[in-house]
């Protein structure tokens, strides 16, 4: 690609990404700290992927997602997952109308731009699988007809990693459909002081709409145009292959810690997330630091840890660190 084209692309992205700062400022009114969480929500939004948030209760996971929906002025629906939930409670169903003497379609809460699947691991496998077609194909089949979901469509799921009563671990096939898995941690002491003050004030701040769904769809098209050099593509593939065949990358010690590596969907997601990260940083091209910045979120839920890894308390993040240190940076 000629340098002139890169310059033009940079200028275009400078203009198109102007709303990112507005979005961050608007979310910052409601969400104190949690910069990584806000940034990853933006990456998922711009790259068209789904996001899984894992953290203890009370860490503003639900608040962050609903605030983003307000700032984007999009249709938002929340599904509270419980053990007695049915697939039809999510996708909708056909109800017979005596008046019209025919079945009528009643669409479920999945027909929204932003769908919050709250505590997704509380619902049984049958309900979790009802989200699969929607997440992957952006459409739902009710009876004999298939209905398209609105665009942009984004599933944001939360799960509590500690409480195990009444929970059903997500199957690998469903976990793999989430582009990012973000671990939400406790706020810092100063941040928590501000959170307490804000929640005890007379009025709680509300986010205003600063961008529309059409702007997001247009931004997604621009994100796809972000230039990625062949060397960066090779770097991404090397990272993913190192998780499958660690011995080929001088990481023989990881072989017994991994039962399986990342899927090709990880390579696709790593490429898309890196482009979105470059867009957020107002750049028209991807650099290795962009890949490294999103690597943990893209890979941590796609690595199968062996019993040996669990016995030695080795986490996915530690394995990813070893891979990033071993794979040659272009």
What is the residue-level pLDDT of the chain in tens, covering all 330 positions?
Answer: 444 477 788 888 888 788 888 888 888 888 888 888 889 999 999 998 899 988 887 787 888 888 888 888 888 898 988 888 888 888 888 887 788 778 888 888 999 989 998 888 888 878 877 787 788 888 888 878 888 898 888 998 888 776 655 566 777 777 888 999 998 888 888 888 888 888 888 788 888 888 888 888 988 998 998 888 899 999 999 999 999 998 988 888 888 888 888 889 999 999 999 999 999 998 888 999 999 999 999 999 999 888 988 888 888 999 999 999 988 888
Tokens standing for residue 320:
């990813």
Domains, the chain, ranges and CATH?
3-198+211-215 (3.40.50.300), 228-326 (1.10.8.80)
Q: At what angle do helices 18-30 and 35-47 cross, to 10 degrees?
A: 140
Yes or no: say if 216 and 72 are a contact pair by the CB < 8 Å rule.
yes
Residue that is written with structure tokens 């997602």 in the block: 65
Q: Quick one: which of 64, 43, 61, 44 has its CA closest to 53?
A: 61
Choose among 181, 152, 205, 177: nearest CA to 37: 181
Instruction: Name the β-bridge partners of 52.
Output: 157, 181
What predicted TM-score, i.e. pTM, was given to this entire model? 0.87
In the chain, DSSP finds a helix count (H) and a strand count (E) of 14, 11
Strands (DSSP E) contained in 73-112 are 76-80, 92-97, 102-107
The burial class, CB within 10 Å (0-12 / 13-18 / 19+), for 41 is buried
What residue has token string 């992957």? 136
């Amino acid at each position: 690609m000629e340098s002139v084209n890169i310059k033009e692309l940079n200028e275009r992205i400078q203009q198109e990404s102007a709303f990112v700062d507005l979005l961050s400022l608007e979310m910052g009114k409601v969400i104190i700290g949690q910069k990584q969480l806000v940034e990853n929500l933006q990456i998922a939004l711009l790259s068209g992927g789904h996001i899984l948030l894992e953290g203890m209760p009370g860490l503003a996971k639900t608040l962050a997602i609903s605030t983003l929906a307000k700032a984007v002025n999009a249709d938002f629906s929340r599904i509270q997952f419980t053990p007695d939930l049915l697939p039809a409670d999510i996708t909708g169903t056909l109800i017979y109308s005596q008046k019209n003497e025919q079945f009528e379609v009643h669409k479920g809460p999945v027909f929204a731009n932003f769908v919050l699947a709250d505590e997704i691991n509380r619902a049984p496998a049958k309900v979790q699988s009802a989200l699969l077609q929607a997440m992957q194909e952006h459409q739902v089949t009710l009876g004999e007809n298939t209905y398209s979901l609105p665009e942009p469509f984004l599933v944001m799921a939360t799960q509590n990693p500690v409480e195990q009563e009444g929970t059903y671990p997500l199957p690998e096939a469903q976990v793999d459909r989430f582009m990012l898995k973000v671990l939400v941690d406790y706020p810092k002491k100063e941040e928590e002081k501000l959170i307490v003050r804000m929640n005890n004030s007379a009025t709680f701040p509300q986010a205003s709409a600063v961008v529309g769904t059409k702007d997001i769809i247009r931004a997604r098209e621009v994100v796809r145009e972000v230039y990625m050099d062949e060397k960066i593509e090779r770097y991404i593939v090397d990272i993913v292959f190192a998780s499958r065949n660690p011995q080929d990358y001088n990481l023989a010690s990881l072989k017994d810690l991994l039962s399986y590596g990342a899927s090709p969907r990880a390579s696709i997601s790593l490429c898309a997330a890196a482009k979105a990260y470059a867009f957020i940083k107002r750049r028209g091209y991807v650099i290795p630091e962009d890949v490294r910045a999103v690597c943990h979120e893209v890979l941590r839920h796609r690595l199968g840890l062996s019993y040996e890894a669990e016995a030695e308390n080795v986490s996915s993040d530690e394995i990813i660190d070893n891979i990033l240190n071993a794979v040659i940076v272009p």
